[in-house]
Structure 1
Amino acid sequence: MKKVLGYIFSPIHYLFFGFFLLLFHPIQWLSLKLGGYSGHKRSVDILNYFLTSTYYLMGTRAKFTNVHRLPEGRPILFIANHQSMYDIPPMIWHFRKYHAKFISKIELTKGIPSISFNLKYGGAANINRKDPKQSIGEILKLAQRMRDQNWSAVIFPEGTRSKNGEMRAFAVAGAATILKKVPEALVVPVAIKGAWKLVQHGAFPLSFGEKMSWTVLTPIEPAGRTPEAVLKEAEEAVKNEMADQMRKA
């Protein structure tokens, strides 16, 4: 039934999702020209609020939980599992006051209204996976911006999206590079659950009436520890939260 309803409601969802991407592309350009970084960021935050709202057109129940008082004015490295592109808009909206930037594929910087513009001008690290030297350079530039501006970053250490909800082992290279450059960054694990179900049939039809959740877990202070040890603790925290949620489901 969820798949059948998906055939009906997916076009409606995509119509509004695409509309907001097209609407905010010139808004971003104008905001950047007139308001600089602050104006551009505000337009991106609002865009992602509206993108997140389109999930409800698919009957999706989206829950974002954060019981921790995360510091402002300090770099934060958010470490999350990755299940679909739908992971991202709620994170941009809910982490907006931390200036969270993403590490993304360089291919996404072209051809996608609003998204490509934001990746090019919003401070993200856009990496070429076929060019390790370029990738490391981009991550180091992001780390420097984190230090200089007290920005934060979101990284998906699995390296690719899970198609069945099962976590892959975290690769530590990118996060370790940031932590070595920004050792004062607070590490915050985030467990994402249910986003893969929305796209379990592919881009069309989306699955109707799925539950999605983002849970911010206990922050980890990295001081006096190796990046590898910190990342391992973050991985275990996310894995344990995912297992606990599965038991309660």
Structure 2
Amino acid sequence: MLALIRIIALICYFILVNAALLLVCLVRPFHRDNVYVAGKLYSSISVILGLKLEVRVPESVKQGGPFVYIANHQNSYDLVTICKAAQKGTVTVGKKSLKWIPIFGQAYWLTGNIMIDRKNSGRARGTLQVTVDKIKEKGLSVWFFPEGTRSY
């Protein structure tokens, strides 16, 4: 019974979180801290799942970047766990197809994340060059999930 209540609460809260995030992103599209806000909103879902998350941020990171973060994206739970570690001024590099997921995809795009076309290696390399330029020009930190396609 508790599982059923959590599932219903999770679905309702997930819709609410995405609506709030979409509103934030419409007010300030592509803002450098939108990913940070999204991370805080998505990680708040962990309470419904009964998870306690702890993030330890090194002093060197607190003093400012830009940085290149590398993380291993394993499953859908990462949306509510690893997102809590997002720092201000950080964007992710994600596959272009994510933007077609209703509501989540539009929020992902509006947060200012960098979309990469993994099916076209020439465009993917061009996107990586754009990423390097953003790091240099805007002082953005970038978060990569290099493991590629997730497996079961």
- In structure 1, runs of 5+ residues without a counterpart are 164-249
Cα distance in structure 1, aligned partners of 2:84 and 2:23: 20
RMSD of aligned alpha carbons: 2.6
1:233 corresponds to: none
For the Cα contact (< 8 Å) 2:21–2:41, is it kept in 1? Answer: no
TM-score by length of 2: 0.80
Runs of 4+ in 1 over 6 A off after TM superposition: none
2:7 corresponds to: 10
Verify: 1:116 aligned to 2:80, yes or no.
no
Cα distance in structure 2, aligned partners of 1:61 and 1:92: 13
1:45 corresponds to: 36
For the Cα contact (< 8 Å) 2:98–2:105, is it kept in 1? Answer: yes
Task: Give me the identity figure in percent.
Answer: 20
For the Cα contact (< 8 Å) 2:43–2:83, is it kept in 1? Answer: no
For the Cα contact (< 8 Å) 2:21–2:107, is it kept in 1? Answer: no
- When residues 143 and 79 of structure 1 are mapped into structure 2, their CA distance, relative to the original with a 3 A threshold, is same
1:139 corresponds to: 128
Verify: 1:55 aligned to 2:37, yes or no.
no
Q: Which one has more relative contact order, counting CA pairs under 8 Å at least 6 apart?
A: 2
1:100 corresponds to: 90
SS at 1:117's partner residue? helix
1:172 corresponds to: none
Superimposed CA distance per residue, residues 143-199 of structure 1 (whole angstroms, 9 cap, x where no aligned partner): 110111111111112113354xxxxxxxxxxxxxxxxxxxxxxxxxxxxxxxxxxxx
From the two aligned structures, give the one with the greater strand fraction: 1
1:76 corresponds to: 67
- In structure 2, runs of 5+ residues without a counterpart are none
Verify: 1:126 aligned to 2:120, yes or no.
no
Letter of the structure 2 residue corresponding to residue 130 of structure 1: K
Cα distance in structure 1, aligned partners of 2:126 and 2:98: 18
- Number of residue pairs the alignment of both structures matches: 152
Q: Who wins on radius of gyration, i.e. which is larger?
A: 1
Q: Deviation of residue 12 (structure 1)?
A: 1.1
Q: Deviation of residue 104 (structure 1)?
A: 0.9
